[in-house]
Amino acid sequence: MKQSVQGSAEAGTPERRTTGGSRVPAQARRADTLDGCRERDDTAVPAARGEHTHSERPIPGPRPAVRRSSVRGQILDALRTALVTGELQPGEVYSGPVLGERFGVSATPVREAMQQLALEGAVEVVPNRGFRVVERGARELAELAEVRALIEVPVMLRLARTVPGERWAELRPLAQETVRAAADGCPATYAESDRAFHGALLALSGNEQLVGVAADLHRRSQWPPVRRLRAYLVADAEEHIALLDALIAGDVDVVRGLVTEHFAGAAS
**DSSP per residue, 179-204:** HHHHHHT-HHHHHHHHHHHHHHHHHT
> Has residue 242 been placed in a domain?
yes
Give 35-83 pLDDT, tens digit per residue: 445 444 443 333 333 444 445 454 344 443 434 558 888 999 889 888 8
Check whether residue 108 and residue 156 sit in a common domain.
no
Question: Looking at the predicted structure, is the pLDDT value of residue 89 above 80?
Answer: yes
Do 235 and 144 fall into the same domain? yes
Q: Residue 30 class from Cβ within 10 Å (0-12 exposed, 13-18 middle, 19+ buried)?
A: exposed
Q: How far apart are CA 24 and CA 264, in angstroms?
A: 35
CA distances from 119 to 134, 148, 208, 216, 221 (A): 12, 19, 19, 10, 15
Give yes or no: residues 175 and 262 share one domain: yes
Within a domain: 3: no
| pLDDT band, very low/low/confident/very high, at 263 (cuts 50, 70, 90) | confident
Residue 158 and residue 117 in one domain: no
Asked whether the beta carbons of 48 and 105 are under 8 A apart, the reply is no
- Domain of 119, CATH number, reads 1.10.10.10
> Are residues 160 and 242 located together in one domain of the fold?
yes
The last residue of a domain, from among 90, 108, 133: 133
Q: What does residue 57 show for φ and ψ, rounded to 5 degrees?
A: -90, 130
pLDDT of the residue at 71? 87
| Number of domains into which the chain is organized | 2
**214-236: per-residue pLDDT in tens?**
999 998 888 766 556 678 889 99
Domain that holds residue 208: 138-267
Helical axes 138-162 vs 208-221, angle rounded to 10°: 150
Burial code of 217-252, b = ≥16 C-beta within 10 A, e = fewer?
Answer: bbbbbbbbbeebebeebbebbebbebbbbbbbeeee
Scanning the chain, the segments in alpha helix (DSSP H) are 66-85, 96-103, 107-119, 138-162, 165-169, 172-184, 187-203, 208-221, 230-249, 252-267
183 in the same domain as 255: yes
Instruction: Please say which residue of 90, 110, 133 terminates a domain.
Output: 133
Query: H or E element: which one contains 130?
Result: strand 130-133
Contact 194, 175 (CB under 8 A): no
Of 115, 133, 151, the position where a domain reaches its end is 133
Residue 10 scores a pLDDT above 60: no
**Residue 23's beta-bridge partner residues?**
17
Domain-located, residue 175: yes
Q: Is residue 9 one of the residues assigned to a domain?
A: no
Q: Determine, yes or no, domain membership for 167.
A: yes
How do strand 123-126 and strand 93-94 relate by DSSP bridges?
unpaired
Identify whether residues 86 and 125 lie together within a single domain: yes
The secondary structure of residue 222, as a DSSP letter, is T
Q: Assess whether pLDDT exceeds 50 at residue 86.
A: yes
How many residues are recorded in the chain? Answer: 268
Verify that 222 and 204 share a domain, yes or no.
yes
The mean pLDDT of 88-108, rounded to a whole number, is 89
- The SS3 assignment for 41 reads helix
Helix (H, G, I), strand (E, B) or coil at 8: coil
If asked whether residues 52 and 154 sit together in one domain, one would say no
**How large is the average pLDDT for residues 239-251?**
96
On whether both 115 and 151 belong to a single domain, the answer is no
- The CATH number for 223's domain is 1.20.120.530
Let me know if residue 4 belongs to a domain: no
In a domain, 173, yes or no: yes
User: Rounded mean pLDDT of the chain?
Assistant: 78
* Cα–Cα distance measured from residue 82 to residue 35, given in angstroms and rounded to the nearest whole number: 12
- Taking residues 78-106, what's their average pLDDT? 87
Q: What is the pLDDT of residues 231-244, one digit of tens each?
A: 888 999 999 999 99
Tens of pLDDT, residues 162-220: 999 999 999 999 999 999 999 998 888 899 999 999 999 999 999 999 999 999 999 88
Pair (214, 114) in one structural domain: no
Q: Interhelix angle for 230-249 vs 187-203, to 10°?
A: 20
18 located within any domain: no
What average pLDDT does the segment 22-47 reach?
Answer: 40
The band of 112, judged by pLDDT with boundaries at 50, 70 and 90, is very high
Are 44 and 100 part of one and the same domain? yes
